[in-house]
Each structure stands twice: as structure tokens, then as C-alpha cells.
Amino acid sequence: MVEIALQVPAKIEAVLKFLDRPDEQTWGIEDLRVTRSGEIAPRDRSKPIRFSFTSLRMPVKAEARAVGGKIDLELAAVIGAVPFTAEAAEARKRILTRVRGQKGLLLTDGRNLCAYSRAVFGGPLQPETLMTELVSFMLAVKPEIEGLEPLLPGRLRSKTAAAA
């Protein structure tokens, strides 16, 4: 029998050790992290998972926490700015009326217009569960972006609705 020396890259050594555990415990995304150097390592479950991405030309921030066997996922996206009353009183009124009618998906602090979602589900956090939540959020936000775009004054209109 011929033995071949196999060199395992340091970046995946932690993953192989993790997967080779003797216990049958299920694991999720909350158990691993990628370091700045690109190495995959075990992560402290008490710390939240934070990441961001861009969808529909809009920055989206996400934060997931593992709490008591459950995953608490929050998603927030800044859709745009609410015009000041002095620059577009009617547009501001229409936008704020629409935001109030959305039962929580759209929020505003009077200046920025945001989309927000929070979901709590059973852990561990599996990649397919995370992707499903992200896609569901963006599918809910897309028609809101398209509906708000005509209400904005010309200078505040984004290219987002055209891309959507």
C-alpha cells in the first residue's frame, strides 16, 4: 500500500476538527467564524453574528443571536431619506402615511426611511434557514421600494426602483 502525504491548509483545519467531533450534536452557523486572515475557527456563541450585504442597491445589516436554543435574527435596510417639510411637504406627508400603514416593515425616525424585520426560530442556524429569511425580507421590501419611489421628490429618488 502506498501512503500519500496530504497537507491540510490551515484555513480548513478548524473545520475538519469541528466536523470530526465525537458527539452527535447538531451545529449551525453560530458555531463557526471566519477570521480576518480567512481562517475558519470556532466562535463564541454568546456573541452575535453581524454581517451586511447589498440587495436592490440598498445596504442591509443583519444581526443574529443564539439565545436559549433559539435564533433571534434582525434585518434592517435604509431605503432612503424622508424629505423635509420645507422642501416637499406633500411628499413627506404621503411617505409617512404609507409608512404608518405597513404595520412594522417600514420605519422612520423622521429623517431616514428604513425596512426592518425580526424573526425568532429554532436553532441551530442552518445556511438554508438564513438564506430563506434574507430572501423573504427582500421580497417583502421590494414592492415597498417600488411603491415609495413615485412619492419621493425628484432629487431624492434612487436608482433602486429602476433596478428592482
User: For residue 109, is it within any domain?
Assistant: yes
Is residue 80 located within the same domain as residue 154? yes
What are the pLDDT digits (tens) for 17-37? 767 766 666 777 887 787 787
What are the pLDDT digits (tens) for 118-155? 999 988 888 889 999 999 999 999 988 888 877 766 64
Is residue 24 located within the same domain as residue 83? no
In terms of Cα–Cα distance, which of 111, 97, 104 is closest to 148?
A: 97
Is residue 39 located within the same domain as residue 59? no
What are the pLDDT digits (tens) for 38-65? 777 778 888 999 999 999 888 999 999 9
For the chain, first and last CA: distance in Å?
59
Distance set, CA 145 to CA 99, 109, 160 (Å): 11, 17, 7
User: For residue 3, is it within any domain?
Assistant: no
User: For residue 2, is it within any domain?
Assistant: no
* Boundaries of domain holding 34: 9-44
Is residue 23 located within the same domain as residue 66? no
Global pTM value = 0.73
User: For residue 4, is it within any domain?
Assistant: no
Is residue 40 located within the same domain as residue 52? no
Is residue 106 located within the same domain as residue 158? yes
